[in-house]
Structure 1
Amino acid sequence: MATSAAALVADIIKELKVEGFATGNEFAQTEKMAAALGRAVYKHMTLLDDTSGSPASKGHR
């Protein structure tokens, strides 16, 4: 898993560039889309970690 939302966003942008998506021009919305997706995925994954991790994270001690 990515170590932060920012790291995930950077990875998404890098992979979009590899696939030929325009990210640098003033009209491209690719980086905004990647940022939104990266933050959402990271948030979702960290919530899953909080609820499905060790027994201690489920309230069992």
Structure 2
Amino acid sequence: MATNAAALMADIIKELKVEGFATGNEFAQTEKLAAALGRAVYKHMTLLDDNTGTPASTGHK
């Protein structure tokens, strides 16, 4: 699991590139999307962790 929102954003961008999304040109909104998703998911996981007292799990091993 990503250790912070920035790391999660980097992982999202990497995966979007693998899927063929443009991330580097001046008109691409992909990095803004990845930043928003990274912050939202990280916030959600942090709140879940705070509420349960244990790290959130994806169920994958």
- Per-residue CA shift, 1:16-56, capped at 9, x if unaligned? 000000000000000000000000000000000000125xx
> Unpaired runs of 5+ in structure 2?
55-61
Tell me which amino acid in the other structure corresponds to 1:39. R
How does 1:15-30 map onto structure 2 within 5 Å? 15-30=15-30
Letter in 2 for 1:4: N
State the structure with more CA Rg: 1
More helix by share: 1
**Secondary structure in 2 matching 1:23:** coil
Q: Distance between the aligned counterparts of 2:33 and 2:20, measured in 1? A: 15
Aligned amino acid, residue 23 of structure 1: T
Question: For residue 41 of structure 2, what is the aligned residue in structure 1?
Answer: 41
Identity across aligned pairs (percent)?
Answer: 89
Structure 1 unaligned segments of length 5 or more: list them: 55-61
The number of residues matched between the two structures is: 54
TM-score of the pair, normalised by structure 1: 0.85
Runs of 4+ in 1 over 3 A off after TM superposition: none
